[in-house]
Structures are given as structure tokens and as C-alpha cells.
Structure 1
Amino acid sequence: MNSPSEHLIVVGVDGSPASLAALRWAVDQARRTEATIAAVMAWTVPELYDWPMPTAEQLDLATKNALHDIVRAAVPEDDLPRIRQRTAGGHPAEVILDQAATADLLVVGHRGTGTFARALIGSTARYCIDHASCPVVVIRELGTGSPRLRPRT
């Protein structure tokens, strides 16, 4: 949990180009505001699996390793100390929102899925915009367009 004087930016990370852009944007914003970043990655148990099911501990460890590698590859060395890495099991949007409950800002990437696909599978970014208790910045894939800040009132 962040202290009252600590500014916290939560960023959802899944390894996609959009989430890497979101992480880089969050790092730049954290530099400007002297904030701490919580890089959050969720894991879920696959519904269909052909071979022995991994345990929750194995899935969490694999996710921690993936997040560590992603952060190391995307973030300059000087900025690594300001980043806390968090993993949790569950639906990505719910995990991100849970971690952002006390955040000052939430940053997520948007892959630009079309309307039809969003209707079928939903959108993590859309869900976060609709349910976050803090302002949300959505970074489009490959940095197209400008970030959209939607303050919560």
C-alpha cells in the first residue's frame, strides 16, 4: 500500500506492444511526478489444457518471471528502482482495478480491437475506464494517437 505522501501509478502489463507503450508512458509520468509505479500482470488458469494442469504457484512464478523480463527490457536501468512488480491470479481487468484501488493514476494499453471483437470478449481498457476509482490513461498500440485521460468524478 502506498503512504499518504507517495504518489502511485498502476500500469497493466501483458507483454503486448500497447502495454509496453503504457509502461513507458507511466515511467515518464512517474519521473515527472516523483511517483512509484506498480507494474501489474494477471494470470488465469486455462480452461482447456491438454497436459497436466500447472498449479497456481507455477502460474504465478511464470507470470512473475515474464513480468520481470518485460520490465527489464522496456524500462531504463535508472528507473527500475521506482517500479514494484505485482502479479495475481484472476481476470486482468479485475486484478488491475484491485491493485489500483488506492492509486493516483491507472495506465493501460489498448490494442485497438474492433467493435465486434469487443462485444464478444470485452475490453480490459474499457472495463478499467468504467470502473476505476482514479483517473485512467489509455495508451493505444504502437503509440498511435495521444493518450486519453478520463478523470473520475
Structure 2
Amino acid sequence: MSGRHGGPGRVVVGVSGSLGSLAALRVAAEQARRGGRRLVAVIAWEPPEGEYLYLRHPDRAWAAHWEQEARQRLDGAFADAFGGLPLGVEVRTVAVRGRPGPALCTVAHRVDDLLVVGARTGAWRSRVRRYVLRHAECPVLTAPAPRAPKGVARELRRATAQDFALRV
């Protein structure tokens, strides 16, 4: 498959560090490996005070700090999911300032791209999934988060992504 910009489409994955996004990252890496495509991992970020307040009192150093924090979370997701970058896949990481849904649709703009998102319950994640399903110009694949066995929900609330990392 060849895109309107030349070359095969990419596999674009939304990463937040949640268990659902780590599952999506693993699925996306496998899809990229199988198809000989580039993996583009995207993390969206906004200033913690929100864009409106930031625009009233802009501070480039403050924004650069939060962008760096987002990039570190993205690197941490790769460490949690694979212990580093996945083997056999060309990887590009992108930190986009903005809301997750629009950011993912902006990056995955080619019709032959594949957009992968985690399928975990929760208002924020559901909002992102609903947004990309409505607005993406490419196919969307949802990857389910690991399911908890009955009776362990309390313990899982204290778990970290490292507890679910693949052991090699």
C-alpha cells in the first residue's frame, strides 16, 4: 500500500502511559513489524493550567518543561512495554501539544495509516476513542487493556504499568 505522500502508511499509536495505551503500543509495534511500516508513537500534552490561562500568561520555559515531561512519559511507556525500543521496527516518537483525539487524527492523516488506540473504560479514554472513531481518515484499531480477574480490582488500583510489563 502506498500513501499520497509516498511509501507505505504508518502505524500511529496514542500513548498516555495507561495500561490500555501500553496494550495499544504492543499491538501497534506488532502491526508495524508485520507490515514493514514505521511506528509513530504519539503523546498529547497541554499545560497543566490549561491553554486559556497559559495564553493569558505565556511562559516558553514552562511549556518546554511540560513538553519534556510528556516525552519522558513516552520513553517510560516504551520501557514499560518492551524494556526499550521494540526490535525490528523503525520508531518515531512525537509529543503533540493539544487534546489527545485531535492530536492523533492530525498525525494519522494519511488514508493508508493505521491508528491504534487503547480500549480501556473511563471517561477520558472513552472520549478519545469516540473522537478518533468519528474523525480519523484512516482505519482505527482498538487494543483492549488487560482484564483483571474477579476479586483483584482493589490490588490493581495500586498496580503500576511495570507490574504488567512483558518479561523477556
Pairing partner for 1:93 from 96, 101, 104? 101
Q: Does 1:125 align with 2:132?
A: no
- List, as ranges, runs of 4+ consecutive aligned residues in structure 1 with deviation greater than 2 Å: 75-81
Deviation of 1:72 after TM superposition, in Å, equals 2.9
Q: Which runs of 5+ in 1 are unaligned?
A: 145-153
Q: In proportion to residue count, which structure has more strand?
A: 1
Could you say which structure has the larger radius of gyration? 2
**8 Å contact 2:29–2:86 — kept in the other structure?**
no
Deviation of 1:3 after TM superposition, in Å, equals 5.0
Pairing partner for 2:138 from 129, 134, 140? 134
Counterpart CA distance in 2 for 1:65 and 1:80 is: 22
Q: Which runs of 5+ in 2 are unaligned?
A: 51-58, 149-168
Counterpart CA distance in 2 for 1:70 and 1:80 is: 18
Pairing partner for 1:56 from 53, 57, 63? 63
Pairing partner for 1:11 from 2, 10, 13? 13
TM-score by structure 2 length?
A: 0.70
TM-score by structure 1 length?
A: 0.77
| Percent of pairs with identical residues | 34
**Paired AA for residue 13 in structure 1:** V
**Paired AA for residue 65 in structure 2:** Q
RMSD: 2.8
- 5 Å matches for 1:11-50? 11-47=13-49
